[in-house]
Structure 1
Amino acid sequence: MKSFKKLLTSKSKTHVPESSFKFGGMASLKTLDVVPSPEEDSQKLKKAFIGLGTDEDVIIEILGHRDANQRKKIRETYHQLHNETLIDGLNKEVSGDFGKAVILWTYDPCERDARLANEALKSKKKGVKHLEIIVEMSCASSPQHLVGVRKAYCDLFNSSLEEDILVSVPMPLRKILVGLVTSYRYDKEMVDKDVARLEANRIHESIKIKELAHDDVVYILSTRNFYQLRATFECYKEKHGSPIDEDIMKSGKGDLESLLKMVVLCIDSPEKHFAQVIGTSIIGLGTDEDSLTRAIISRAEIDMMKVKSEYLNMYKSGLDDAVIGDTSGDYRKFLVTLLGGKI
């Protein structure tokens, strides 16, 4: 191990001209070229909360077109003006899937993921699906975001994320997750092909002898930068003839295999992972609203346009259409707004 080691009611609608919106990179979120002041947004939100019934359209129109920094300013200003937090105000006024989605979106992204991680760790559910959020924030987010989540977790729950994983998750899943959440990866594009080949072979040996939670595997997956790991996965396929996630699943059908496959996919192609999460949440009997909400909210400001493209490739239908067909009411309006579409 040592020698080997050397080598993340009534609605008063506000109509905004389409030309007033702008996109950011691969994000689907449409923000405004000219953004109202946080004071103006805060007053409009407060007005939407009072009177006969809540004006959900105003909530969607404002919060659904503000990025994380703009939402932060609204939260701060709302608190100063109205002597209550915006989250408390929303909690009193909105409910159901729409309420959950709006509140998650309104949180600071690090606080949101910390709360979702805590909810997952306190869950009585079996298997690994409920642990997706922990893998996503460790393997499909920036190192800075993961550090922010860990700090928010300590502030909110008076324990560390690592401690709660140790208490809540059985071995060997615990070993993998603790390795991932304690990582602080280098975030620039730096690749050593020799190391990639060596580590691809080391992972292959562990898969072959069914030691998927070997220290070397945990070390590789939890410390190498994402570019280096993608090169390792590429070397693995070139040398051994099949993708690493396929070989992982051939070695067994337990929770460990499922978790590691998720880790590999989140590192190698986050957009494919989230397209799959959305597809799984929609297709079949009933809708998994929690997973659908989390996926859209997590990626709307990052790479949702890529997720849409992957969804189309995987399911041969548009993601927006799938969401519209499987949701309803204000919940549907809000999700479609975050996807950059219109109802």
Structure 2
Amino acid sequence: MATIRIPEVVPSPVQDSEKLQKAFLGTFFLLSLYAQLISLSLSLSFSISFSDMSKSVCCWFKGLGTDEKAIIRILGRRDASQRKKIREAYHQLYDKSLIDFLFAELSGDFRKAVILWTYDPAERDARLANEALKSKKKNITQLQVLVEIACSTSPHHLVAVRKAYCSLFDASLEEDIISNVSLPLQKMLVRLVSSYRYDKEVVDSTIANTEAAKLHEAIKAKKLDDDELVSILSTRNIFQLRETFQRYKDNYGKSIDQDIMACGKGLFESIMKVMIWCIDSPEKHFAEVIRAAIIGLGSDEDSLTRAIVSRAEIDMMKIRSEYFNVDKNGLDNAVIGDTSGDYKDFLMTLLGAKI
């Protein structure tokens, strides 16, 4: 279900690190050359100005900067465990952080996408969660990131994210939610990120019927922050909840997310819809995130990057199929039409294109 293309023969982490270092060396050469030009222009008199010399140097050595294509070929075609080994090997070889070098050498949306991809997945999600919580805007675009992490990943990954968050930001994820999100949404989000759901496929049909009735009663009364509703949605295993959602639809004629959105169009209702989708059909949610990022008034590159980077190793094939069901133009064509340059090439590499 992943879309990244890992080579049949994967170079060693040391070989990959050496190639990455070589990809950076062009920039180091130019910086050194410019430094020498500055020194020369200050100590000697030339008929040609320093500005003219700079233009000449740029012409002579055009293309000697960072080799972005090499970075895409290497990092864009390695899985999480391979990228971890590359980070470790790079640090051992050069006593420098690969992430720091990527930050210094790249720019714009391309830089953000490559760095997010290069991070350990738990650290990446911890940083995305912190960015969402510290944002001045607390709308659906920001806060749905927390729901994605809590409801569309494994319980083990969620624990790893919480540990990484504490290590990176000297506070727990729960503490920062309480500090930055108001009630009643605060209560729901804290319960979600604190949960450790059973991850085996165990379903009890009787419980599904009973809890579908409880959910319907709370939603009908528009008590979306009801303690029992929050408890059911934040603690039951994913397979049990999917059965409960199906019983809800069978018994009451509408899907649970439809009834939730009938309660209102506020942030709480929108977050609950995202939660239902991330539990029941994550590919549907992420296809919608990508579609909204592309078709809006001005692209939302952050959301587009997050969706592709975070799901390329998990279920991007399903997301691609779901996207096609909604937009017959297809995901690949949508990304190609909405992005450009190295950023486009990197996203397309994660989507499995042969760049």
The TM-score, its normalising length taken from structure 1, stands at: 0.92
Q: Report the counterpart of residue 288 of structure 2 in structure 1.
A: 276
Structure-1 separation of matches of 2:113 and 2:17: 19
How many residues are matched? 318
1:33 offset after TM fit, Å?
A: 1.5
Structure-2 separation of matches of 1:323 and 1:102: 16
Query: Mapping of 1:1-343 within 5 angstroms?
Result: 26-51=1-26, 52-343=64-355
Structure-1 separation of matches of 2:213 and 2:74: 51
Structure-1 separation of matches of 2:318 and 2:132: 26
The letter of the residue matching 1:67 is D
1:342 offset after TM fit, Å?
A: 3.2
1:126 offset after TM fit, Å?
A: 3.2
Structure-2 separation of matches of 1:126 and 1:133: 11
Unaligned runs of 5+ in 1: 1-25
1:219 offset after TM fit, Å?
A: 0.4
Structure-2 separation of matches of 1:219 and 1:97: 39
The letter of the residue matching 2:348 is V
1:309 offset after TM fit, Å?
A: 0.1
1:47 offset after TM fit, Å?
A: 0.7
CA displacement 1:8-44 (0-9 Å, x = unmatched) = xxxxxxxxxxxxxxxxxx0001111110000000000
Structure-1 separation of matches of 2:258 and 2:89: 50
1:128 offset after TM fit, Å?
A: 2.3
Structure-2 separation of matches of 1:187 and 1:264: 17
Structure-2 separation of matches of 1:186 and 1:164: 25
Unaligned runs of 5+ in 2: 27-63
1:252 offset after TM fit, Å?
A: 1.0
Structure-1 separation of matches of 2:289 and 2:140: 13
CA displacement 1:251-281 (0-9 Å, x = unmatched) = 1111111010010000000000000000000
Structure-2 separation of matches of 1:130 and 1:73: 31
Q: Secondary structure at the match of 2:156?
A: helix
Q: Secondary structure at the match of 2:6?
A: strand
The TM-score, its normalising length taken from structure 2, stands at: 0.89
The letter of the residue matching 2:235 is T
Residue identity over aligned pairs, in percent, reads: 66
The letter of the residue matching 2:90 is Y
1:285 offset after TM fit, Å?
A: 2.0
CA displacement 1:295-314 (0-9 Å, x = unmatched) = 00011000000000000001
For the pair shown, which has the larger CA radius of gyration, 1 or 2? Answer: 2
1:286 offset after TM fit, Å?
A: 1.0
Moved more, 101-110 or 313-322: 313-322
